[in-house]
A and B are shown apart, each in its own frame.
Chain A
Amino acid sequence: MTEVARALRDRTAVCGTGLLIGEYPERTPLSLAVEAYQLALDDAGMKRGDVDGIIMLSFGSDYDRFLEAVGTDVRYSYQGWSHGRFVAPMLQHAALAVATGMAKAVAIVHGRRRKAYGQTADFEMWRQGLGPHGESPAYGALGPVFGAAIAAQRYFHMYGGSNADLAPIAVAFRKHARLNPLSVRSDPMSIEDYLKSRWIIEPLRLFDCCQNNDGGACLIITSAERARDCRKPPVYVSGMQGVHAGRQFHNLTLPGLGVAQQEVYKYTPTKEDLYAYEMAGITSKDVDALITYDAFSPLVLFGLERFGFCGPGEAREFVKGGRIEIGGELPINTSGGLLSEGHVIGWNLFIEAVRQLRHECGERQVKDANIIQYGSFLGESVIFRR
């Protein structure tokens, strides 16, 4: 671990969040982003002028249009590309900008309407060398779910099991969503309901796929010192690590499964693969709840094995028997996740980590939650501490 990493531990914090999830047919991505920003400022007890950095991952307006709309000039701005795997890096950039003094407070902001206004997602499928989830339209390999389906098939081929092994994940997250007043889905789901849901891309069913809704989200990051003066308790950024990428890291899968050009082997994390724990000064045993990217249910299996919560091929047993439910040994996606709370490109997953560590989750509160990890199958992670 570097000197800088050691110095960064718990020196920045999330001080404000704003979240909108649902149907907003009269709204644009810009207006959803602006409202989320207002909510986050209010949550932090801040004013516009307190924020001097902006990071935007929008499906609509660019960062500079957003700043024009909210009447703010900043001295740190950055715009990324809206995919779930890039949410953690945006939060990391914000923490680094604050820690290095490039900005005093950075708002990371997002607004999205499902079918509309300035988004290019449909054309991503035709990118050179396959789409962002392995899509190849001429062969009918369509939709982000393709990446998760080919990964799940390889996982079952290597380790045994079948689609039914994913049911406990969808069912657990629906239970969590029913305790969350913001959730898009609050209707109950049983294992039988899950098994009756229609195939989308076999081996994945409709209930293996996330919700598709409109939304807006904002998190404000500032120094630990300043966060302690804000309205709500600070949620410290303790450790972090990046999105791993390359021929061994196809999107929506785990290394070793042999998707696309990946080698075939049983993946177990190396010390370097777990850098965020070292930076935070913890081990996976200290994690009170795991928040992981769940656009599709198999990603939960991959997230668990990526961070060594269980060995290769063991996650499909690990998720059974209530272990990943609130009150279980390792609660996962306590908000209901993208599968049931709603899909705000993963921003809402980070906001749930904050809500849990502020102990403001009511019925779905993880008792005495002190450390929560965001960690996903591509290795990106942020460890938060109360």
Chain B
Amino acid sequence: MQPSLKVKDDRTGRYLPVIYPEEIPFWEAAKQRQLKLQRCNSCGKAWYPIGPACPFCFSMDFAWSPMSGRGTLHNYVVYHKAWTPWFEKRVPYAVVQVQLEEGPRLTTNLLDCALDAIRIGMPVEAAYEDVTDEITLLQFRPASAGK
């Protein structure tokens, strides 16, 4: 996978993530339906946003590590205004922040969940959405019952 500065899919008009060089392992894992973040080899903590050093102990010795994919819905908002034509067919939609079991919080969407069923504190699990041939977005959905 290569870094990408493309901000919009020419075909669909959907906004894309810019892929910075040091984020490539994250996006490669997402394409494989895995959630990987950096975990510090000194203090053991995982962090986000992706960056060159551990923000807790400032070590630069880390490993890209699989996360459980389990977390809690920590925050959400509901967009009623469509910022671009692509969003016009999608409003109202939610943007959420998920707190992973491992600690970091990610800004994402919640798939397979009605807007009025969203609750702060609900258990969620990682999901994946292919948005282009190259890019798969990490998403979340309500945790499966019985797990």
Contacts and interface: CB of A to CB of B under 8 A. Distances in A.
B17 A138 contact: yes
A126 B8 CA distance: 11
B78 A202 contact: yes
B97 A260 contact: yes
A134 interface: yes
A261 B92 CA distance: 26
Contacts of A138: 14-17, 131, 137
Contacts of A285: none
Given A129-B50, A141-B95, A261-B48, A157 B120 contact: yes
B25 interface: no
A200 interface: yes
A282 B139 CA distance: 50
A150 B77 contact: yes
Given A157-B120, A199-B78, A126 B7 contact: yes
A266 to B, nearest CB: 17
Q: Interface on chain B toward A: helix, strand, loop, or mixed SS?
A: loop
Given A129-B50, A138-B15, A260 B77 contact: no
A142 B109 CA distance: 13
A154 B97 CA distance: 11
A146 B17 CA distance: 17
A198 interface: yes
Contacts of B55: 247
Nearest to B76: A153
B108 interface: yes
Nearest to A127: B18
Interface string B14-29: 1111101001000000
A379 interface: no
Interface string A131-153: 00010111111110010011001
A307 to B, nearest CB: 25
Contacts of A130: 49, 107
A200 B81 contact: yes
Contacts of B17: 126, 136-138
B15 A137 contact: yes
Interface residues of B, number: 37
Given A199-B80, A202-B78, A259-B75, A140 B109 contact: yes
Interface in A247-285: 247, 258-261
A134 B108 CA distance: 11
Contacts of B80: 198-202
B105 A201 contact: no
B135 to A, nearest CB: 8
B66 interface: no
B58 interface: no
A155 to B, nearest CB: 11
A142 B81 CA distance: 10
23 contacts: A123-B7, A130-B107, A136-B17, A136-B95, A138-B17, A138-B131, A138-B137, A139-B137, A140-B15, A140-B79, A141-B107, A142-B79, A142-B84, A150-B75, A150-B97, A157-B75, A199-B78, A199-B80, A202-B79, A258-B75, A259-B97, A260-B105, A260-B107
Given A126-B7, A138-B15, 20 more contacts: A128-B18, A128-B49, A129-B50, A134-B107, A136-B95, A138-B14, A138-B16, A139-B95, A140-B83, A141-B95, A142-B87, A146-B77, A150-B77, A153-B77, A198-B80, A199-B78, A199-B81, A200-B81, A202-B78, A260-B97
> Which 4 pairs, one residue from A and one from B, show the smallest C-beta to C-beta distance?
A129-B49, A137-B15, A199-B80, A202-B78
Interface of A: 123, 126, 128-130, 134, 136-143, 146, 149-150, 153-154, 157, 198-203, 247, 258-261
